[in-house]
Structure 1
C-alpha cells in the first residue's frame, strides 16, 4: 500500500461533526451581521446576500483561535471598504483548539476539503469560477488555504500570513502551502526564527513571492520571545505571539491604498539594510507592495522591507547616503538627522555616541519615516562628539553630501564641500531634487583661506645698511603648514 504524504503525522483528522466548521458571509448589504453558509446544503447560499459576479475573499484563522477574533472582523471590514465583495469567514475553532497542535494540523486537511466543497457549491449555484477566489490564511490557516487550492485547481490567489512552521516547514510541498496551490501565491513571513528559538512561522519560501518584513524573523516593536513568554505567564498578555500576529496586522494596514509596504528583491536582508538593493529595476519587476496589492507587480522571489514599530506599520522608506569630507581622519560620535516636510518632521539617529566615523567612509543605510512624511524639503544635522576616559571625538566633523532616495526612486540631495558640523550645534541644510555633484574648490581658489605676511630677501646687505626685503600678503587655504599654496595680493619693496 502506498504511503500518504501525511503519514508522518500519524494522526487522522477528527470527524466533521467534532470540528464543526462554519462559514459566515459578509457583504456591503450585511456588513454588520453575517449570514451562515453550508458546504453541503446550497439552500443557505440561495437565501443569502451573496453577490454573483463579485470577487470572493475567504479568511481562515489559525491554531487556538476562532473566526470571531477582532482581527478577523477588522480584516473583513477593511476588505469590504476596498470594494463590493463577498467575504467569507471560516471558523474551525473546535478543530483548532488548544493544546493539541498535532491534532489541529491533521484537522487542517479536512477543513481544506470543506472549503473546496463550499467553493464547488458557489460555482454551481452562482456561476462563479476559480479565478474569482482569493483565500487569506493565517498561520495554520495558510496551509488550510493550500489544501483547498490542491482540491480546487486554478484558484486566483492565496495569501499566506506567516504560515505555521511546526510539522510543515521542511516537509513535502504536498503537505503544506506551495506555489502550485493557486495562480498567485504571496506569503508574508514575520516570525520565522525557528521553533526552538520561539519562532512560530516558517522562514522558507512558500509562494511565488515571499515578503520578509524586518528580515522575517522578528518584528520591531515586539518584545523578545523570552521576555514575551514571561509576560504571558505572569500577566496573560500573550506578547510572545506579537511577532507572529504582526502578519495579519500588516495585511489589514495594506488595504488602505496610501499605506504602502514597498518591498525590494535582494539576496539577503543584510544587503538590503545596507541599501544595496533599493532599486525596482527598469521594468519595475524588482519590487512590489506587500499585502493586498501584491498582485499588481511582476516581482517574484524573496522581497525585503522595513516597517515602523507601531501603527501605522507602513512607512516611507528612505535610503540615506552621507559622504564625509576627506582629510580629517576619524572621530567618535553620534550623528542625528531630522527630516522636514511641509506637514511633518521626524528625527533619526544614524550612529551611536561611541561609533567611529571615518573620513573615507560613506554613512549609508535605510530609515523608516512616518507615511505622512513626504516631499522632504530640508534636513537638520547634528553631531555630538563622544567623551570617553581613553579617547574622545573631535570638536567638529565635516561632510560633503547628503542624498535621500525614497522607495519610488526619487532623490533629493545637498552638496557642500567641507560643511562643518560643530559639536552639539544643529545645522539646517536645504535639499534639492536630483542627485547633486560635490564641487571641490581648486587649491589656488579655496573657499576658506588664512591670510599672513611673508617676506623675501631681494638684495644683499650693504655696509651700514640692512638687506632689502619684499613683503607679501599671502592667503593660505590650508591650516596644515605643509600645504604651501599662496595667492599674492600685493607686493611692496621695503
Structure 2
C-alpha cells in the first residue's frame, strides 16, 4: 500500500438530537466529560444538495447519499470538554467546494467526551465496527471501496485504520491528521493506523511531543489540511530522510525542472501516488515548513552564492525581497552556518511568508554571529535567486558584491543568462 508522511470548559445544558430541523453535532458539557458518556455514533450527511443542513443517516436511511460518488468520512478524536470541533463546519464546506461528493461527519462525541483519555481510546474499535456496518450497506447499494475516503483526526485516524483493516486495505484512501500517540505509538500494525490499511495513506504529523492535547500544534494538522482546499495556498513538501537535510536544501530535487513533481500537502496529496508506486517500499517521508498564521503557506527559493574570499568564511545570510509595489518579505537562513569557500557555490534554502511575483530589489546581510572581534567581509562573485515554488519563473542574478558583516546591502537584480547553470 502507498503511504506518504508529512511530519476551559463551560457548564451548559445538553440539547436533544431529536426533532431537529437541521441536525447538529452533539454538544455536551464539561460535566458530561467528568462523569463519562456511553458510546452513540451519529452519521450526518452533507452534499451539494444540502450544503448547510445535515441529514442523519444510517444503514436503512441514506437520504441524499449517492453511492456512485466519492464518500468522505470525517472522524474526530478525543473531546475532553464535550464541545464540537471548531473546525468541522469549515472542513465540510471546503470539501464540498472542491468536489461533488458525499461528506459524512462521524459524530461519536458521546464516547469521545471524557477527561480520561483511555476511556475514549477504548471505544475506537466499536466506532470502527459501526462504520464497517454502514459501508457494507453502501456496497450492497452499489458503492465501490475505491471511492471511500476517510479523514481521521487524532483518535479518528486510528478508527479509520481499523475500518481499513476490516476491508483488507482496499479502502481508497485514509488521511491521518496527527494520529493520536499515547497508547498507539509502538503498537503492532493491527492496533493502530498502518500503511496497509488503505490503497493510499497520507499522514500529517504536526505535534512532536504527543502528550499535551491542548497545545495548538495538535490541531494545526487540521488547519494545514484545510489550507490545501483553498486555491490561494498550496503547501509543497519535500521527500527527505531527515528534517535537518531538508532545511539544508539537500532534498529539493523534485522541485527542479524535468524532475518528478513534489508532493502536495493535504487534499491533493494522492496526486503523487503514481510516483510512490515506483518506490520499494512504496512509502516515504516528506518535510515542510509553515508560516505562523493562516493560510500557513511558505514559498521556497534557492539562493546560490559563489564567493571569492581568500579565506573561508562561515556565517548566515538574511535575505529580503521587495516588489515594485513596495511589499517586502524576509528570510533568515540560519538553520546551520554556511561555509563559503573561494569559487565554490553554496546553495541556501530560503523560506518566505509571501510570494512576490516580480522582485524589484534584493537585500542581503551576512553575519558570523560574533558580537565581538573584527567585522568580516563576504566577497560575492555571483548571487542567484531561483524560485522552487514557481520554477517557471526566470532566475535573478547579481554580480560582484561585497557584503560588510551585519550591514544591509541592497541591489536590483537582473535576469540570469539563459545558458547559465
- Same fold? TM cut 0.5: yes
- Give, in angstroms, the shift of residue 336 of structure 1: 2.8
Q: Which residue of 1 aligns with 2:267?
A: 292
The structure-2 alpha-carbon separation of the partners of 1:110 and 1:339, relative to structure 1 and needing over 3 Å to count, comes to same
Q: Which residue of 2 aligns with 1:404?
A: 385
- Check the 8 A contact 2:309/2:378 in 1, yes or no: no
Indicate whether 1:318 and 2:301 are aligned. Answer: yes
One of 244, 262, 265 as aligned partner of 2:218: 244
- Check the 8 A contact 1:383/1:426 in 2, yes or no: no
Q: Which residue of 2 aligns with 1:207?
A: none
* Cα separation, 2, equivalents of 1:160 and 1:385: 42
Q: Which residue of 2 aligns with 1:301?
A: 284
* Cα separation, 2, equivalents of 1:116 and 1:137: 15
Task: State the SS of the aligned residue for 1:95.
Answer: helix
Indicate whether 1:427 and 2:402 are aligned. Answer: no
- Give, in angstroms, the shift of residue 282 of structure 1: 8.0
TM-score by length of 2: 0.78
Q: Deviations over 1:206-244 (max 9, x none)?
A: xxxxxxxxxxxxxxxxxxx7xxxxxxxxxxxx7x42111
- Give, in angstroms, the shift of residue 375 of structure 1: 4.8
Aligned residues: 368
- Give, in angstroms, the shift of residue 178 of structure 1: 1.0
Task: State the SS of the aligned residue for 1:54.
Answer: coil
- In the TM superposition, what are the counterparts of 1:101-116 in structure 2 within 5 Å? 101-116=117-132
The structure-2 alpha-carbon separation of the partners of 1:67 and 1:291, relative to structure 1 and needing over 3 Å to count, comes to farther
Q: Deviations over 1:118-175 (max 9, x none)?
A: 11222323x2111111100011100000111122341110001111111111111111
Q: Which residue of 1 aligns with 2:30?
A: none
Q: Deviations over 1:45-104 (max 9, x none)?
A: 1xx222342211110001126793221111101101102111100011121122222222
Q: Structure 2 unaligned runs (5+)?
A: 1-36, 277-282
Q: Which residue of 2 aligns with 1:487?
A: none
* Cα separation, 1, equivalents of 2:285 and 2:358: 29
Q: Which residue of 2 aligns with 1:336?
A: 318
* Cα separation, 2, equivalents of 1:430 and 1:144: 53
The structure-2 alpha-carbon separation of the partners of 1:96 and 1:340, relative to structure 1 and needing over 3 Å to count, comes to same
- In the TM superposition, what are the counterparts of 1:251-266 in structure 2 within 5 Å? 251-266=225-240
One of 37, 51, 55 as aligned partner of 1:35: 55
Indicate whether 1:392 and 2:408 are aligned. Answer: no
The structure-2 alpha-carbon separation of the partners of 1:398 and 1:252, relative to structure 1 and needing over 3 Å to count, comes to same
- Give, in angstroms, the shift of residue 437 of structure 1: 5.4
Q: Which residue of 1 aligns with 2:71?
A: 56
Q: Which has the higher contact order (CA 8 A, sep 6+)?
A: 2
* Cα separation, 1, equivalents of 2:39 and 2:410: 65
Q: Structure 1 unaligned runs (5+)?
A: 1-16, 201-224, 226-237, 439-494
Q: Which residue of 1 aligns with 2:94?
A: 78
- Check the 8 A contact 2:291/2:297 in 1, yes or no: yes
- Give, in angstroms, the shift of residue 246 of structure 1: 0.8
- Give, in angstroms, the shift of residue 426 of structure 1: 3.1
Q: Which residue of 1 aligns with 2:348?
A: 365
One of 132, 135, 144 as aligned partner of 1:129: 144
- Give, in angstroms, the shift of residue 108 of structure 1: 0.3
TM-score by length of 1: 0.67
* Cα separation, 2, equivalents of 1:337 and 1:415: 14
* Cα separation, 1, equivalents of 2:83 and 2:414: 50
The structure-2 alpha-carbon separation of the partners of 1:357 and 1:75, relative to structure 1 and needing over 3 Å to count, comes to same
Q: Which residue of 2 aligns with 1:199?
A: 210
* Cα separation, 2, equivalents of 1:142 and 1:314: 24
- Check the 8 A contact 1:67/1:90 in 2, yes or no: no
RMSD across aligned C-alpha pairs, in angstroms? 3.0
Q: Which residue of 2 aligns with 1:149?
A: 164
* Cα separation, 1, equivalents of 2:366 and 2:268: 41
- Check the 8 A contact 1:67/1:92 in 2, yes or no: no
Task: State the SS of the aligned residue for 2:114.
Answer: coil
- Check the 8 A contact 1:259/1:371 in 2, yes or no: no
- Check the 8 A contact 1:403/1:435 in 2, yes or no: no
* Cα separation, 2, equivalents of 1:186 and 1:56: 17
The structure-2 alpha-carbon separation of the partners of 1:253 and 1:327, relative to structure 1 and needing over 3 Å to count, comes to same
